[in-house]
Structure 1
Amino acid sequence: MLLKTITVVLIPALVLQGWRVKKNTLKLSEPLGEREGITGKGKKLSLLILGDSAAAGVGVEHQDDALLGAILKQLKNDFEIEWKLQAKIGDTTSKVLHALDQLEKRHYDVVVTSVGVNDVTQLMSAKTWIEKQHQLYGKIQQNFSPKLVIAAGVPPMHLFPALPHPLAWLFGQYAQKMNQQLARFVGEQNNMQWIEYDLKKYQQLNLQMAQDGFHPSKEVYTLWGQEVTHRIRQAF
């Protein structure tokens, strides 16, 4: 209730800052590269990546340097990976749910998700957001019967260089509350894990974000991929 009240009070400043950010932030495109294929050799493994612009790899020029590429590079010597990427700039959880309806229903061993940033920018409450996560992961289980689902946490948006305060602070509060709900939800599932987007850790390693100050860089995608592949190796 307090966060909702603060949001209402800040609306005039948020509208102005949001307009300035949209006008001044560098617009990056989705990277080049295939969105599905078979890579590597070894034990067969099927992989689906779902979500928003971070899942799509925005921030780098080619999928080889994005999350998809980082995962494939680290698994290709031990697994024959049949993979698919379904992600798009600007996708909210609702849009990802709609995209799932367009995908073939089939089994994937692993599903990796990244959603939340675009829900934060719409100032969605954590209560509404986690209800949508229930819908999303329920549909993932129903359509793909994965052995492992790895959910990326919502990034700490108050640390995004592209965002000024109080907009950054407010987005950070929404992201934090969403992550609290996500951690609780994942802990109740038998086949789910979540990965926290630890931007402070990346900064301590002198890793920068992409040029737009909003998306991961190649180095951040590499570390994210390492965390994902570590969970996959543990499970398989």
Structure 2
Amino acid sequence: MSKTEALTKIMLGPVLLMQGMYTRRVTPKLPEAEGERQGLVGNGEALRLLVLGDSAAAGVGASTQAEALSGQVVSRLAKDYQVGWTLWARSGLDSQALLELLEQHAAQPFDVALLSIGVNDVTSTITDTQWIARQQQLLDVLLDKFGVKLVVISPLPPMHLFPALPQPLRWYLGNRAARFNAHLERLADRRDRCRMLTTHLAPVAGAMARDGFHPGPAIYSVWADDAAQVIARQFGHTASGTL
């Protein structure tokens, strides 16, 4: 925890707590996107894709998985690959809960894992040290147990711009998210077979879900574009899909 955060919690703790409780009470609870969570599509070289994480990975803010992150990534990759894809995601998961979810699944090989996790860590009381330790554990499990050849790590969104969050809670969570991202970027740089996206998911007007907290299909599209390009470059295709 930074000195700024510690001082903020001392001075504004009651305000942040009340705002957090109020925000949870008034924010609409949107469902996860409907649709299949595994499949085989496309032609070409086989590519085994795992999309995993929290409510954003589960497609909250989109009506169907086709409009959500998994569906949009798969549709792009299917132009060049035969994509066998799987989605393991659930609203409310933090890093520890995702680790426990992975423990429940039997080992099976994936070429790529697209990871989206962290917002529920930011809104918790987890420290920076605990945060990065859990990210290291997640990478270890994905690389070792599931034999993932490439982990594509999604950055935490710019929570300081989330319209659903009042001030100063928006500033406080945005600061934590930015700091967690800095730790995550350093971790990705140190680890083989890991790439962190540079996706800029600014919540522009009309692009977010109606809860003001989750992505809408337009943001999922930008996210999927960046992820598909990173994956294609790693496995022998350019962003345009040619060899």
Question: What SS does the corresponding residue of 2:66 show, helix, strand or coil?
Answer: helix
Would the aligned equivalents of 2:201 and 2:223 in 1 still touch at CA under 8 Å? no
Compute the displacement of 1:197 (Å): 4.5
- Which residue in the other structure is 1:132 paired with? 134
- List per-residue Cα deviations over 1:83-133 (Å, max 9, x = no partner): 110010000000000000111201100001011100011032222100111
The structure-2 alpha-carbon separation of the partners of 1:207 and 1:228, relative to structure 1 and needing over 3 Å to count, comes to: farther
One of 113, 116, 140 as aligned partner of 1:114: 116
Q: Conserved in 2, the CA contact under 8 Å of 1:41 and 1:77?
A: yes
The residue type equivalent to 2:222 in the other structure is: L
Provide the C-alpha distance between the structure 2 equivalents of 1:231 and 1:109, rounded to a whole number of angstroms: 13
Q: Could you tell me which amino acid in structure 2 is paired with residue 187 of structure 1?
A: D
Could you say which residue in structure 1 is the equivalent of 2:72?
70
Q: What displacement does 1:189 show?
A: 1.2
> In the alignment, does 2:183 pair up with 1:184?
no
2: CA distance, partners of 1:207 / 1:73: 23
Cα distance in structure 2, aligned partners of 1:36 and 1:184: 32
Instruction: Between 10-19 and 173-182, report the one with greater CA deviation.
Output: 10-19
CA displacement at 1:19 relative to structure 2: 1.7
Tell me the percent identity.
Answer: 38
2 CA distance for matches of 1:149 and 1:101?
Answer: 17
TM-score by length of 1: 0.95
Displacement after TM superposition at 1:155 (Å): 1.0
Residue 145 of structure 1 aligns with which residue?
147
Distance in 2 (alpha carbons) for counterparts of 1:196 and 1:22? 29
Q: Distance in 2 between matches of 1:16 and 1:190?
A: 42
Q: Which amino acid aligns with 2:224?
A: G
CA distance in 2, matches of 1:9, 1:98: 35
Q: Secondary structure at the match of 1:144?
A: coil
Q: Which residue of 1 aligns with 2:57?
A: 55
Q: 1:197 to 1:86 in 2, by over 3 A?
A: same
- On the 8 A contact 1:43/1:80 being kept in 2, the answer is yes
TM-aligned CA deviation for residue 194 of structure 1:
0.6
Q: Once the 2 structures are TM-superposed, how far is the Cα of residue 9 of structure 1 from its aligned partner?
A: 2.3
Matching residue of 1:41: 43
CA-based RMSD: 1.3
Correspondence 1:1-236 to 2 at 5 A: 1-2=2-3, 3-200=5-202, 203=204, 208-236=207-235
SS of structure 1 residue aligned to 2:15: helix
Structure 2: gaps spanning 5 or more residues: 236-243
**What is the rounded CA distance, in whole Å, between the counterparts of 1:163 and 1:197 in structure 2?**
21
AA aligned to 2:229 is H
Paired position in structure 1 for 2:240: none
Q: How many residues align?
A: 233
For 2:189 and 2:201, the matched residues in 1 are separated by 22
- Structure 1 gap segments, 5+ residues each: none
Secondary structure of the structure 1 residue equivalent to 2:56: helix
Equivalent-residue separation in structure 2 for 1:129 and 1:21 (angstroms): 23
CA contact (8 A) 1:159 1:199 kept: no
Contact 2:199 2:226 in 1 (8 A): no
What is the SS of the residue equivalent to 1:17?
Answer: helix
> Residue deviations 1:40-75, cap 9 Å, x none?
111100000111000111001100000011111111
In 2, the alpha carbon distance for the partners of 1:8 and 1:56 equals 35
Deviates more, 1:188-197 or 1:157-166: 188-197
Q: Could you tell me whether the CA contact under 8 Å between 1:114 and 1:151 is conserved in 2?
A: yes
- Amino acid across the alignment from 1:61: S
2:145 partner SS: helix
